[in-house]
Amino acid sequence: MAAASLVPHATAWAAEELGEIVVSAQKREQKLQDVAMSIAALGGERLQELGITSGIDIVAQVPGVQVSGAGGGTVNAFNIRGVTQNAFAANLESPIAVYLDESYLALNSGIDLSLFDVERVEVLRGPQGTLFGRNATGGVVRYVTARPSQSAEGKVGVELGEDGRVRLEGAAGGPLSDSVAFRFSGALNRDDGLIENDRGRNAMKSDDWAIRAQALFQGESLDGWLKLQYVEEDSNRGGYAHVLAQDGEYVTSPTATDFWGYRDADGDPFTASLDFPGWNRNEFADVTATLDWSLGRVTLTSVSNYQNLKNDYAEDADVTPFSVYHYVRTADVDQFSQELRASWQTERLTGLVGVYFLRIDGVYGTEQFGEVYFGTGREIASADQVTTSYAVFGQAEIAFSDRASVELGARYSSDSKDFAYRSTNLFEFVAPGPVSFERDFSDDGVSARVQFNYRPVDGRLWYVGVNRGIKSGGLNFPLFPQEPELLRFDGEVLTAYEGGVKTSLGAAATLNVSVFRYDYDDYQAFSFDGLATRVVNVNAEMTGGEIEFQASPVAGLDVSLGMSYLSNEVRDVPLAVSDGTERAPFAPKWTVNGLVRYGWSAFGGELSAQLDGSWRDKQNFNLVPTPVLEEPAYAVLNARIGFSSADDRWSAALFVRNLADEEYRFYSFDTSLDFGALEDIPGVGRWFGASFGYRW
């Protein structure tokens, strides 16, 4: 065996870091550094070496992006620059639009499905309505999967870790003819559960699998792409830790208990006594057909998508061995969308126009029971909601010279929602006996953007613009019946002022800086007030920016650093839950992320050492925080040592996540007024693992 050598080794990873990664954020292929917007992208190789296998894990390495995790971490909502809607009612859409390739994922329980065979992830900050099918005021997160190619290729990989963690992933594909290619891929993921339950099934337990089949046809003027994906999960990924609290304050007395005489004796957030351990079951089917016609300088594109998502989630909300309060949430959603667009490019003009149709037909349900709160009865509610959306949108970039251009965009959207609600009304909150009613809601509006771009020299891009984003209103699906008039919330309008610069510092480094100011009218904010949940309209202002730096100062050494700043104020919060002014949840003032990697030639291949991590300033978990919902600043570090063969076919790695075993919370509900304790979701502690891979 050859001895190790400290000769540096360059990889494709460095090219991804220096802006060479190609993205399609503006519906055309561009290098990241050429896109005149605040956008972050993580390529497939970097995702692998960061150990990112879940859709929400990307937040650790993207400045200005956070994620909430209601339902014990199973109902997730992205937060970009303070813009979020962390409601857990399944009928509500987020202001951050999530896409799997060209298909929009509407349901908030569907964005944390297994991430596999992915080419890259793109995160677009700010309103996105003039280029994308579904309107979004806060931004877009887009997962781009690997497509079939005319080269026979494949890969297999396995990851093993503590607590019975096993992850298998594979893909294979190639040509069927000169014009047709295919690709099959899949993944399996499971573990023993991170929260040990001494009364039954463990919590925070994964068990899911997914498959994807694709066919790509390429003709002289017509290309077609068909993708079918299916995901099935039968896990218990939700899970809470029991922490004593009363009236929004921690209780530290060694003899104190919750309202039912219970306390977690060992104080370990990863042990529990749950009489109702719960479950999380998902079935997700996705079919997408894309056609591209090339007509000279004009390309016509059709994207047809159908999805069905069935979700069944249950939790022991009181986190005790007693039958106090248990919660079940279900959803069965059919979704269809059709997008038609035309794009063209001349020497001075690049443009796109499109039309979009979306229909979401969902049946949503909740069930609440437990002997202490409900006796032998059950509070059962359901909502049928049909969302229909039509839109016309377009954007053009007009070049005045080789250095200067202006972008103009506009969108008209029309949304309607038909809502039917039913409840057993166990406690007769609205009227005696069962409650049922129907409501409808319609909303339309215009969004627009204007932006000036200037390239004073090669490798530098300045941009400044104004962007008006809109999101339609809707109807709350509460835990308990409310007066029908209280269910409605109005659409929101965001006026975003943004500027930035993208700079290539020679061939070895890039520096991107963006600054923004957001002015909101009728910001849709979610408030959890005991067991009362609702989205309310408030006003808000947000100011901040991001810095992203990547460098390869010497061969083999790659450095990445990101930082975000956010100052925000949410005003006119209803006095029933606030004194009027608050901060947005999941919006730390400062965040920092970074990575250092060094690779060198050894043993006939490459050895690499990597340290990555992120730091988050203090933040709160609710629109109206109590002391127990204020999370102190914390940092999470990860380390990895890897080896890959000279032909890049074989790879292996040893890694540790949360190297310092930092204790932090991912999310928390203040249920101290209801239970005398919190529902805390602990961040995952330190764990060790290994991975192995082969590609051909």
Average pLDDT, integer, range 247-261: 94
Q: Which of 1-15, 63-77, 187-201 has the lowest mean pLDDT?
A: 1-15
Taking CA atoms, 85 is separated from 138, 516, 535, in Å, by 10, 20, 8
- Asked, for residue 590, whether it belongs to a domain, the answer is yes
- Whole-angstrom Cα distance, residue 235 to residue 367? 19
CA distances from 67 to 62, 94, 189, 532, 563 (A): 11, 12, 21, 22, 16
Helices and strands (DSSP H and E) totals, the chain:
5, 42
pLDDT tens profile 99-146: 999 889 988 777 776 789 999 999 999 999 888 888 889 999 999 999
pLDDT bin (cut points 50, 70, 90) of residue 216 is very high
Q: Is residue 543 part of a domain?
A: yes
> Is residue 2 over pLDDT 60?
no
Which 8-state DSSP code applies to residue 137? S
Scanning the structure block, which residue is given the tokens 């929400």?
56
3-state secondary structure of 131: coil
pLDDT value, residue 49 = 85
Question: How many structural domains comprise the chain?
Answer: 1
Question: What distances in angstroms separate CA 517 from CA 84, 494, 541, 544, 582, one per listed residue?
Answer: 16, 10, 7, 7, 18
Hunting for tokens 């029908």 — which residue is that? Answer: 484
Q: Give the span between the Cα atoms of 183 and 171, in whole angstroms.
A: 7
| Per-residue model confidence (pLDDT) at position 129 | 87
Q: What is the dihedral of CA 168, 171, 172, 174, to 10 degrees?
A: -170
Please tell me the predicted confidence (pLDDT) of residue 18: 57
The reported pLDDT for the residue numbered 28 is 77
Cα 361 to Cα 91: distance, rounded to the nearest angstrom? 10
Lowest-confidence segment of 84-93, 281-290, 305-314, 411-420 by average pLDDT: 84-93
Query: Of 254, 255, 265, 250, nearest to 677 (Cα)?
Result: 250
In a domain, 559, yes or no: yes
What pLDDT does residue 530 have? 66
Q: What is the pLDDT of residue 9?
A: 40
Per-residue pLDDT tens for 256-274? Answer: 999 999 999 898 999 999 9
pLDDT, residue 577, reads 63
Residues 6+ apart with CB under 8 A from 299: 292, 293, 342, 343, 344
**pTM of the full structure:** 0.93
- Residue 10, pLDDT score: 41
Q: Does residue 5 lie in a domain region?
A: no
615-628 pLDDT tens trace: 999 999 988 889 99
CATH (domain of 591): 2.40.170.20
Q: How confident is the model at residue 389 (pLDDT cuts 50, 70, 90)?
A: very high
User: pLDDT confidence of 576, banded at 50, 70, 90?
Assistant: low
Residue 1 lies in a domain: no
Q: Which of 456, 422, 459 is nearest to 437 (CA)?
A: 422
Q: Give the start-end residues of each E strand in 505-578.
A: 509-529, 532-551, 557-571
- What's the pLDDT at 12? 45
Most confidently predicted of 74-83, 171-180, 427-436: 171-180
Alpha helices (H) along 207-269:
none
For 579, the domain range is: 12-695
Instruction: State how far the Cα of 295 lies from the Cα of 301, in Å rounded to an integer.
Output: 11
Please indicate, yes or no, if residue 2 is contained in any of the structural domains.
Answer: no
Question: So what's the pLDDT on residue 507?
Answer: 81
The reply to whether 6 falls in a domain is no
Q: What is the pLDDT of residues 551-561, one digit of tens each?
A: 999 999 999 99
Q: Give the Cα separation of 692 and 169 in Å (integer).
A: 11
- Mean pLDDT rounded to a whole number for the chain: 91
Query: Per residue in 237-246, pLDDT tens?
Result: 888 999 999 9
Name the residue among 75, 78, 72 with its Cα closest to residue 90.
75
Contact between 441 and 488 under an 8 Å Cβ cutoff? The reply is yes
- Residue 332 is predicted with a pLDDT of 96
Looking at residue 663, what DSSP letter applies? Answer: -
CA distances from 247 to 239, 441, 579, 672 (A): 23, 37, 17, 6
SS (H, E, C) 276-314: CCCEEEEEEEEEEEEEEEEECCEEEEEEEEEEEEEEEEE
Cβ(258)–Cβ(327) under 8 Å?
no
| Residue 451 pLDDT exceeds 70 | yes
Confidence of residue 203 (pLDDT cuts 50, 70, 90): very high
pLDDT above 60 (res 15): no
pLDDT computed for residue 238 by the predictor: 85
Return d(Cα 382, Cα 372) in angstroms, integer: 23
**Mean pLDDT value across residues 575-587:** 76
Tell me whether residue 576 is exposed, middle or buried, using C-beta atoms within 10 angstroms of its C-beta: 0 to 12, 13 to 18, 19 or more: exposed
Q: Quick one: which H or E segment has residue 48? A: helix 44-50
